[in-house]
Amino acid sequence: MEPIAPNLARQCGVISRRQVEAAGIAPHDLRRLLRRRDLTPLFPGVYVDHTGTPTWVQRAWAGVLFCAAHDSRRRLGGPRDDDLGAALCGPSAVRAADGPGRGDDAGPIWVAVARDRRVLAPTGITVVRTFGMQDRVLWNLGPPRMRYEEAALDVALETADELDAIGAVARAVQSRHTSAVRMQEALARRARAPRRAFLQAVLADVARGSCSVLEQAYVTRVERPHGLPEGALQVRVASASGVIYRDVAVGEQALVELDGRLFHDTAEQRDRDFERDLDAAVAGQGTVRLTWGQVVDRPCSTAAKLSLVFERAGLPGGRPCGSRCGWPEAAA
């Protein structure tokens, strides 16, 4: 075991057959180590130095080492001059950076390989063929992984809907491992990406600290389709706290504030929000504060409840947007 001890120490107890052979251990010696259970197979040609349940980091190392050594177009384990290796990507790269407790450890290990490679991965590994790995991967980390902004962007692009994509952006920026500006730059380097325009707008808003995307979503998803009273956007108001801007003013009786922040902000920021609401109450105006989920994910339910609020303030109500609208359930 001594010749492979440095690799085992560096790779959390995981090693590939290629590395074992490179350390000078003969095939019959490797078979002896396996018989004695000094090494235990995790994936074909990848071993761990114990017989217990592997940790997530050991599974991640095993996935990277397997994909780095295998290509279905050549003999397993054979070296290749242009081999750029493999690296964690997507949710696995995010999990590796965030540490334990921040992701799903039970899912498959996501591994990126060069676009021109073909890797037939066993159960437990999801292979992604991609481009420009030499510039997008942090090769000095263990295991090697995509830069955080690249991995977080992959997660956002793979989500099922826009709200989940917003949540992925929120978690990435909140982690402090990257910024909205870096994610914008990563998105700009991609020729094709689903929901590109939407994510570009969201990232631009986050970078500026504004919420114009949320305002537009309120108008196009909540207000207009449901016939709610048209509100004035970004209304300048002089209050007891100074000059402020109201997101949506509906007549003189109702205000709608759109909370476009993607994660919890400072105590001072929340205090300013509550102060704005108190100023509105002093002026005799009721304030409704809406979030991304209420506007983007549940627009029909939100419209039905706003209609009730507006009617109680003496304003016209709204109507369902169609036969499949969720208005009746929310208004019940």
Determine the Cα–Cα distance for residues 65 and 54; give it in Å rounded to an integer.
15
Q: Please identify, among 159, 191, 208, the residue that sits at the C-terminal boundary of a domain.
A: 208
- Same-domain pairing of 146 and 221: no
How many alpha carbons lie under 13 Å from residue 173 in its C-beta half-sphere? 25
- Same-domain pairing of 33 and 147: yes
Each residue of 212-247: pLDDT tens digit?
778 878 888 999 999 999 888 777 877 666 777 777
- Same-domain pairing of 122 and 247: no
Contacts of 140 (CB under 8 A, 6+ apart): none
- Same-domain pairing of 198 and 50: yes
- Same-domain pairing of 184 and 71: yes
């303030």: which residue's tokens? 313
Q: Is the pLDDT of residue 186 over 90?
A: yes
Q: Please identify, among 161, 182, 208, the residue that sits at the C-terminal boundary of a domain.
A: 208
Contact indicator for 260, 213 with CB cutoff of 8 Å: yes
Give the range among 65-79, 82-96, 133-147, 153-167 with minimum mean pLDDT.
65-79
Q: Which two tokens stand for residue 76?
A: 């397993």
- Same-domain pairing of 291 and 150: no
Alpha carbon separation from 323 to 22, 159, 269, 300, 326 (Å, rounded): 67, 27, 41, 12, 9
């036969």: which residue's tokens? 323
- Same-domain pairing of 166 and 60: yes
Domain residue limits at 316: 213-331
- Same-domain pairing of 218 and 194: no
- Same-domain pairing of 119 and 42: yes
Domain count, the chain: 2
Amino acid occupying residue 90: G
- Same-domain pairing of 174 and 252: no
Q: Is the pLDDT of residue 272 over 60?
A: yes
Each residue of 68-120: pLDDT tens digit?
988 655 444 443 433 448 999 999 999 999 988 776 788 999 999 998 888 99
- Same-domain pairing of 194 and 249: no
- Same-domain pairing of 260 and 202: no
What pLDDT, on a 0 to 100 scale, did the predictor assign at position 326?
A: 84
Residue of 230, 233, 236 whose CA lies nearest to 310: 230
Each residue of 46-59: pLDDT tens digit?
999 999 999 999 99
CATH number of the domain where residue 318 is located = 3.40.960
Q: Please identify, among 208, 242, 273, the residue that sits at the C-terminal boundary of a domain.
A: 208
Each residue of 21-40: pLDDT tens digit?
999 999 999 999 999 999 99
